[in-house]
Structure 1
Amino acid sequence: MKLSARYEQTSCRLVLEGFPDLSAGQGDQALGILTGWSLALAGRPELEGRREHLVALLQVVLPYARHLLSGAPRPFGTAETPVVIAPQGTGHELLVRSSLPDTPPLSLQLDDAELADLVRCLDQLRLDDRVRVPLELPTPQPLKRSELRHRQPLRRRLAAPATGLAALALGSFLALLLPTPKPTTAPPAATPATPARPVTPG
């Protein structure tokens, strides 16, 4: 029995199709074998792909959105991955590479609202208990210190090292103001008296 799962937002529609994996004991209402999927974005060509394209879409779009919300946007995906997303001006560029030979990659320009709709659809898929297809999602990692550093104003970033240098300079200056203790001279050691030799009468 063929199954489908549909997730829709204002400018995005994601549809998965497949069959239950009865050999894994998932039940006849769980989509365990993915046969195809499609993604329709408003005013764009409909995307279709294999499982690796769906996995790549999840692996780059969700962490990209997380970094974007944290104020540290950066590209996700490489020249070897099927999907790449990166900041583009005031929007975002989603690049999808086809697995068919001699097919140029498809570049989609998304604004913030369209990206938010895409993220909501992918989140609905990720949290759907009916979909039992292994999607190999990466574990969310905390942002690196270097990725958060630029979010702080320059004055705030320089405050800690400047305070440390000022404290060091002040400590050195106060140390120079302290009087240098004079060395104390010990009194000369007393010479023991030599006992007088007794005079023997002649």
Structure 2
Amino acid sequence: MSALDFAPFDVGSMLNSASTAKCSSPVAASVADLDDFADWGKGADFRGFQRVRAGGVAEVAAVAGVETSTRPWSAPLAAFAEAPRPQFIVEETWDELVWEAIQVDDVWGQQALDLGWDQHDLFGCHPTPWVADGSRDGLVALIVSLKSPVRITAVETDCITLQPISGPPMRFRSRKPAGQSLLWTAYSFGSGP
């Protein structure tokens, strides 16, 4: 099954297998804590990503499995992935934010673009990201802010379905809030309190 296929999954078998599915991690997790959800698919990939994070966007893209893209957000996302961590964000959260942005673009970016989703829907955030109110979060910022691992299971014209490790699916819908910024602008060099 490819990452673009939608299929219900058995959470119990996901927890007891060495799945390679793409999914998010808890925001507050340290690198050592990532083993708690490694069976759900991301732990080893994310640790590999963290090890080469300082090596530049080409190495990060290779670890994440990203191919060269022509989507409108390709160039700013590549620069964002290579940018140094702002001082106002802890390293684990920064790595998670960059990881999720790359994964969303790599696995779902083209399908989302084809269905009418734009860079604000996927990569939007509050213009002052240290103000964690979530009111202007796009998909990536939302995924990183959640306390439980989730995976994207479907992208449709009106919603993106997120499946938490337990519980019912969640639906993300385009909101286009006033004053929304993009990750690569809000987290750029010189931003911060």
Q: TM-score range by the shorter chain?
A: under 0.3
* Greater helix share, structure number: 2
- TM-score, normalised relative to structure 2: 0.25
- TM-score, normalised relative to structure 1: 0.24
* Greater strand share, structure number: 1
Mark the structure with the bigger radius of gyration: 1
Q: Report which structure shows greater RCO (CA 8 Å, sep ≥6).
A: 2
